[in-house]
Chains A and B, each alone.
Chain A
Amino acid sequence: MTDNTTDAASDTGAPRQPDSAFTLDKDTATEPVVHDSGRDREILLTVTDLVKHFPVKEYTGLFPKTLQTRAVDGVSFDLAKSETLGLVGESGCGKTTTGRLVTRLLDPTSGSIEFEGHDIAHLKEKQLRPMRRDIQMIFQDPYGSLNPRFTVQQIIGAPLEIHDMVPKKQVKARVQELLELVGLNPEHVNRYPNEFSGGQRQRIGIARALAVEPKIVVADEPVSALDVSIQAQVMNLMSKLRRELGIAFIFIAHDLGIVRHFCDRIAVMYLGKMVEVGDREDIYEKPQHPYTQALLSAAPDLNVVRGAVPNERIRLIGDVPSPIDPPSGCRFRTRCWKAQEICAAEEPPLDPAKDKPEHVIACHFPEVKTDLVADSDAS
């Protein structure tokens, strides 16, 4: 309902003209989104053994005990220039925390985050300032992440002024340029967030992140709060920006279809650990970790109704264990159908796959499984 009333507000007066502003440039739209860069990657960001524990108090007995929620527990990965890394996993697996650690919105408990050769994991707020320009974030909730009392001009102009990106007099012109870049009407600079629909607000959030010309953007579920038809618009915008501006993305999402569409590399997380990291084809076509296989087979598939053979279903029973007291050894073993004694005793390291060193799997019994996704051989 709110969506509609806001639309009404922005539509009064002028005739409706949404379509032109929302479609992407036709020439670039047909180009492939993904460029296969091969393996000569120019590394921007290296994360090593990143750990984040949140203290929680437990009030049992006379004295409260302080326990640690192991939200992220030893995560390592790297990110190359204009690459997109997808982080997937169930809620509570630490994907959002990882994103917030990389942007340094949270202080890591230990580990290092090396950005262009400098460790930024333990810098103080003041020392962080210059780096904030380079790593930006897009948030999930387009309603909560924009200050309702600021105009679009103030929202997008703030980072420009803080980082002295342009002379004061040119801020407005630059804001309008950015609005145009994300497909909004540049004349709307003086409007407030409530005058925009969800998809438009998400575009404002994107413009704000782009204002400081970042090298890395962490996008935390950027489209999950939007309607299906609007999701595709925002995803196309992000693909275009990536193509034209060469920004590297860390893309956090639970929608496996969208992750597959947007990401070159995918890291599957479970209970604060990465269990499998690989290129798109590795993860979706040749997944080796049982958890990755279960995730893929659980995704509901439209093709079934179009006459495709339903895929084999792996049913996980129960919930993710508590990150306060994770299972010993392999954390997935409590829900894994392959679990044996060694899984409880020994934590499996992230080992490279036999045929491809870039595809790493943390499992004692890795096994390639294909055909987890229903065949799209429709009539």
Chain B
Amino acid sequence: MFKDFEHLIRLAAVMVGALILFVAIRAAVVPRSFGQYGHYRGAAIGEIAARPIAFAGHDVCEVCHTDVVEQKKLGKHVVLSCEACHGAQAKHADDPASVKPPKLDTAVVCARCHEANSAKPKSFPQVVTAEHSGGIACDTCHQPHRPKIGSDAAAKETSTKPSTEAKK
């Protein structure tokens, strides 16, 4: 036993103390889920997944608006989802009574897709709206859910109300 041995003991005690302090601080500041799946906070996945949705999805729309579904089936617009034109409607789907979707201006909405552009595929139906209609609303002649003129002569105007309500 060499002299001043107790100095080493003290040094060791300080180091052990520092180590305990480090482990304690690390345990406090590193989130519990860090490293669950990899070098990131595992709980972040659940937090990101918990964000509310804005677009309800066409399956939800079709539960109530069955008359529109029938109309669409008869025309080329059957492939369109409702919210492609009508916009995000999750709030309307949650509370159909108080949140009403805005009325669409067909002169704007239809032109988004059907305005002629040389970069669009040739097979896609396109018009130069200024020449085709002179800026009047497309639904003056075309029924948006079933756009081909003449095909809907006998078909009744599509109601904007859910079929359940329209029947009353």
**A and B bound?**
no
